[in-house]
Amino acid sequence: MLYNLISRIKFLFQATNKHGVHSPFVYDFVTKGLYKKPNTKIDLNKYDALQDLSKKEQNVLSKVLNYFSVSDIIFNIEIKTNTLSKNYNLLFINNLNNFKDLFSLDVKKYQFIIIRGIYNNKNSTNIWYKILENYQNIVTVNLFYFGLIFYRPQQAKEHFKIRV
């Protein structure tokens, strides 16, 4: 709990809002997705893995899912992505500490990946920073509650910390 609080304070000092974003892709996501009130709320109760989200996490995740028009949430990496729809497919990782094959993960298979709890403990934070170092052609967005990984070969590798 203390680690989470200290991490939150550090995050708030380092994070920016839409004015500190120089990527058109991320800027649109922040302004039209995160900072806009959603027209429709997505029912997250239909997913068992999302039952323990806080109200703030539900709100942020709902905005992300609305903005990207997510049609499928994948909780298990063994699912074949070629059988899914062409809309955004999302891999949701609920706990970094329990995810063993993170560095063997093929990020190209998914349009994006959401990792919950990147500041739950020091181990989770260290794994998050290893992800930032190890993967190429990714754009990451750190929202404190979630880490978002986008595979974007057309864009330089960048990392953004955004206040929500």
The pLDDT value recorded for residue 141 is 94
pLDDT digits (tens, 9 = 90+) for 102-124: 666 666 667 788 999 899 889 88
56: left (phi over 0), alpha (psi -120 to 50) or beta: alpha
Burial of residue 96 (CB within 10 Å: 0-12, 13-18, 19+) is buried
pLDDT at 160: 93
40 backbone φψ class: left, alpha, beta (φ>0; ψ -120 to 50)? beta
Residue 51 confidence (pLDDT): 86
Please report the pLDDT score of residue 8 as a whole number.
92
Q: pLDDT for 34-50, tens place per residue?
A: 998 866 777 788 888 88
Q: Is 37 helix (H, G, I), strand (E, B) or coil?
A: coil
Side-chain-side CA neighbours of residue 1 (13 Å): 0
The predicted pLDDT at position 75 comes to: 81
Tokens matching residue 28: 């649109």
The reported pTM is 0.85
- In the three-class reduction of DSSP (H, G, I as helix; E, B as strand; rest coil), residue 55 is classed as helix
CB 55 within 8 A of CB 100: no
Both tokens of 109, joined, read 């298979």
Sites in the chain below the pLDDT cut of 50: 84
pLDDT at 132: 85
Residue 146 makes CB contacts below 8 A (sequence gap 6+) with 57, 60, 61, 64, 114, 115, 116, 118
